[in-house]
C-alpha cells in the first residue's frame, strides 16, 4: 500500500526544423536549450522538490529522456536537426507536411517539433495532436521561442511550461 509504480521512461526525439542557420542561432536551437526542456519535463512530471515543478500535483512516475537509438538502430542524441526551405511556417498544412516528412515511429518515441511560426500562425505557442489522430503527425509542436528555458526561449514563455502543458 502506498508504493509508487516503477518509473516509466519515455524516449523523446526533438525535430529542430530550421532554415540553415547555425546551431544556436534563431530557430536552430542549441542542444542546451533542448536539454533545458527535458529538465523541466522531469521536474514537472516527477513533482521534484525544490523545483518549479513542486506544486499541488502528483509524481506521475514518468520521466523523459532524449532517445539514444534512432529508428534505424543507430546511436543518436535525440535531437534531429532538419534544414528545410521555409524561413517560417505560416499554415497548418505546411507544419503537417514537415511533421510527416520527419516523424519517427510514434509508438516508440514522443515526437516534438520546434518551428519558427509566421503569418497566421505567428501567435501560436504550441499544440499537441489529440490521441487517435493520424500516426503520421502524432506529437507536439512548439515555437522555438517557447521551448526550454535558455537560448532563444523568450519571456514570458521561457519557463518550459508550454510543452509541459501540451504533453
Report which of 108, 105, 109, 118 is spatially closest to residue 17, judged by C-alpha positions. Answer: 118
Per-residue pLDDT, averaged over 102-125, amounts to 95
Dihedral sign from CA coordinates of 125, 156, 164, 71: positive
CA distances, 142 to each of 10, 16, 134, 154 (Å):
19, 10, 18, 13
pLDDT, position 103 = 97
CA–CA separation, 134 and 43 (whole Å): 30
Task: State yes or no: is 166 an active-site residue.
Answer: yes
Segment 128-142, tens digit of pLDDT: 988 888 899 999 999
CA–CA separation, 141 and 37 (whole Å): 13
Q: Which one of the listed residues 31, 59, 63, 166 is annotated catalytic? A: 166
Which residues are CB-contacts of 63 (< 8 A; sequence separation ≥ 6)?
7, 8, 9, 10, 42, 45, 46
Q: Give the confidence band of 1 by pLDDT, cuts at 50, 70, 90.
A: low
Q: Give the confidence band of 53 by pLDDT, cuts at 50, 70, 90.
A: confident
> For cell 526561449, what's the residue?
153
153: its cell numbers: 526561449
Per-residue pLDDT, averaged over 98-117, amounts to 96
Global pTM?
0.92
pLDDT, position 90 = 95
Amino acid at each position: 500500500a502506498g508504493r509508487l509504480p516503477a518509473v516509466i521512461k519515455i524516449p523523446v526525439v526533438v525535430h529542430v526544423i530550421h532554415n540553415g542557420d547555425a546551431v544556436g542561432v534563431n530557430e536552430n536551437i542549441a542542444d542546451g536549450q533542448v536539454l533545458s526542456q527535458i529538465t523541466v519535463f522531469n521536474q514537472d512530471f516527477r513533482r521534484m522538490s525544490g523545483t518549479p515543478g513542486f506544486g499541488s500535483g502528483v509524481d506521475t512516475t514518468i520521466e523523459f529522456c532524449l532517445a539514444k537509438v534512432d529508428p534505424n538502430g543507430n546511436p543518436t542524441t535525440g535531437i534531429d536537426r532538419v534544414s528545410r526551405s521555409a524561413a517560417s511556417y505560416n499554415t497548418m498544412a505546411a507544419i503537417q507536411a514537415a511533421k510527416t516528412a520527419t516523424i519517427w515511429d510514434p509508438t516508440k518515441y514522443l515526437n516534438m517539433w520546434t518551428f519558427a511560426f509566421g503569418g497566421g500562425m505567428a501567435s501560436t505557442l504550441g499544440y499537441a495532436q489529440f490521441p487517435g489522430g493520424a500516426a503520421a503527425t502524432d506529437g507536439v509542436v512548439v515555437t522555438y521561442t517557447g521551448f526550454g528555458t535558455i537560448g532563444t526561449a523568450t519571456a514570458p514563455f521561457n519557463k518550459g511550461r508550454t510543452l509541459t502543458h501540451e504533453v
